[in-house]
Structure 1
């Protein structure tokens, strides 16, 4: 442990409207536990929000904060916490604040979906970053200049990002380890009943076999190929050939384990991505269709209605008229 740093390291948590309480708790509690385990104040923190009074998290709970969008000390770390409807929560005031603090050289990190306002503010151009997997598709479409990974968390210079949820704990345990040693980080993890500290090379999502509840290597390979080829779908015949099966064998495999055809499963993946893009971006309905492998807008609308019982335009709501 580095005993030479007498002054506590300070973190400022910017809580955006509808922020994720889980992600925030997993970030702030390791700091408290580090102080307890070390027997001294290694870390201090404060909470801020636009308006400087209260802010609501995604479960509706109201949080009292310490202040508004005031200047952060250059030796402090600013962690932005976001959650649901991050686009709606990203105000001009928050964007201006992030740009101002970035120009001052402040270390800035984003938890859960807060990578989105950081990218919107231009803080992640050419930077490696990550975001919650459910927002990945829309982020890639909107911010191609950012180097988005599927990692639990990333550290690129003075920019940090984290996928949120329990991954916030992994990021904070890494920061504790870097500053005060792995032994202290391990003691904090023990107090959290956190049996495995994950690193920044680990991916967010469960493996395909775990997600679908089936451990069949060829089936997992085909599903992975589907997920990686949404914009330009691969034919069932090609998918089967790539894993050394006939098309009929592949059909039987999907029917047996997933109770649907490969074509239907693939379509569901594409439509789910389409729904994410409609709800999370300003992309036109036509561009959403193209991004999900539909060359005909009418065919896209027909498939979407059949699966979700609504049209893409209605899903988009009032924005649909501009699509």
Structure 2
């Protein structure tokens, strides 16, 4: 049994199926960097692997490795897999996940790991962030669970992330909430993150997945938006340039992106504005103009509605953490 000393926060990383060293690194890196910055072992990671025939030979190379059947404690349990379970999740896996949740622990699931949470009944009536490549399979198995195309979802003590990059954003955000802005920004700087993406940011979907004769029109429309942030085009102008009607364009956006063209365009401009706020010294007024906002009040109002803070508050928050 690994005893959890109250002086550190223990993260148990469960690897139920195939995984890569990149998978492990993306989960452990924020905590390792935080320890280095703090000059103390505030966070400790241990690895948990399946038992019996489920076990993988790679697990023998993992530091601080234990079997799922062993007795262990943790503050955060992360379930991550590079694949979707081919067979039913074992009774032991369900029991362990349910046990830790009932004990008040936080559980995070990344990429295929979200399937283990769903199989254990922990996502009942919850929104789950699922990587776009897994959405069809997930909805086929769990049609009662609401899908989210956000980078990650945090509902009390359950966290689902769309992939490893999204997990990195989520963990840095988690550090900001638990340890403060200064440490979170220092960790993100060490990891060369140009910004900490918020949970509600949508996954960037590869449009080639949509297929069909009409798909190139959607790709063209999004590319027009991305290339015309400073002087936004109207929805009618975009429809005309991609040679379809406005109504057809709106149907495409609603079907594949679950939003309307104007709303998607606004989000692109706001995300670009946030990136400039956090990574440049350009004035707030100039950033608003560069991102297609005709006035300071218009920019501030739209930014606050989406990010729940004004551009000035966003930049002040960043400067205070430096």
How far off is 1:93 after superposition?
Answer: 2.8
Aligned partners of 1:18 and 1:89 also within 8 Å:
no
Partner in structure 2 of residue 15 of structure 1 = 15
Count of aligned positions: 226
Gaps of 5+ in 2: 223-235, 246-255, 257-322
How far off is 1:175 after superposition?
Answer: 1.0
RMSD: 4.0
Is the partner of 2:153 in helix, strand or coil? Answer: strand
1:78 and 1:246, CA in 2 relative to 1: closer, same or farther beyond 3 A?
Answer: closer
1:72 and 1:152, CA in 2 relative to 1: closer, same or farther beyond 3 A?
Answer: farther
Is the partner of 1:80 in helix, strand or coil? Answer: strand
Structure 1, residues 106-139: CA drift from partner, whole Å, max 9, x if none? 2211011111110011000112221221101111
With the length of structure 1 as denominator, give the TM-score of the two structures. Answer: 0.59
How far off is 1:217 after superposition?
Answer: 7.2
Aligned partners of 2:9 and 2:43 also within 8 Å:
yes
Partner in structure 2 of residue 229 of structure 1 = none
Aligned partners of 1:55 and 1:62 also within 8 Å:
no
Partner in structure 2 of residue 202 of structure 1 = 201
Q: Which aligned pairs between 1:265-280 and structure 2 lie closer than 5 A?
A: none
* Counterpart Cα distance in 2 of 1:215 and 1:37: 47
Matched, 1:31 2:31: yes
Is the partner of 1:166 in helix, strand or coil? Answer: helix
Gaps of 5+ in 1: 222-240, 252-268, 270-323
Partner in structure 2 of residue 90 of structure 1 = 89
How far off is 1:80 after superposition?
Answer: 0.6
Structure 1, residues 128-182: CA drift from partner, whole Å, max 9, x if none? 2212211011112221222321111111011011112211211110111111111
* Counterpart Cα distance in 1 of 2:60 and 2:84: 17
* Counterpart Cα distance in 1 of 2:167 and 2:104: 23
* Counterpart Cα distance in 2 of 1:56 and 1:166: 24
Structure 1, residues 265-315: CA drift from partner, whole Å, max 9, x if none? xxxx9xxxxxxxxxxxxxxxxxxxxxxxxxxxxxxxxxxxxxxxxxxxxxx
Is the partner of 2:65 in helix, strand or coil? Answer: coil
Is the partner of 2:67 in helix, strand or coil? Answer: coil
Q: Which aligned pairs between 1:1-323 and structure 2 lie closer than 5 A?
A: 7-51=7-51, 56=56, 63-64=61-62, 66-69=65-68, 70-73=70-73, 76-88=75-87, 90-206=89-205, 208=207, 219-220=220-221, 249-250=243-244
Aligned partners of 1:53 and 1:67 also within 8 Å:
no
With the length of structure 2 as denominator, give the TM-score of the two structures. Answer: 0.59
* Counterpart Cα distance in 2 of 1:196 and 1:246: 33
1:203 and 1:162, CA in 2 relative to 1: closer, same or farther beyond 3 A?
Answer: same
Q: Which moved more, 1:139-148 or 1:41-50?
A: 139-148
How far off is 1:15 after superposition?
Answer: 0.9
1:219 and 1:131, CA in 2 relative to 1: closer, same or farther beyond 3 A?
Answer: same
Aligned partners of 2:84 and 2:115 also within 8 Å:
no
Higher relative contact order (CA 8 A, sep 6+): 1
Structure 1, residues 18-41: CA drift from partner, whole Å, max 9, x if none? 025433311111100000011122
* Counterpart Cα distance in 2 of 1:9 and 1:173: 15
Aligned partners of 2:18 and 2:83 also within 8 Å:
yes
* Counterpart Cα distance in 2 of 1:117 and 1:102: 13
Structure 1, residues 57-88: CA drift from partner, whole Å, max 9, x if none? 9xx78643521123453x61111111124334
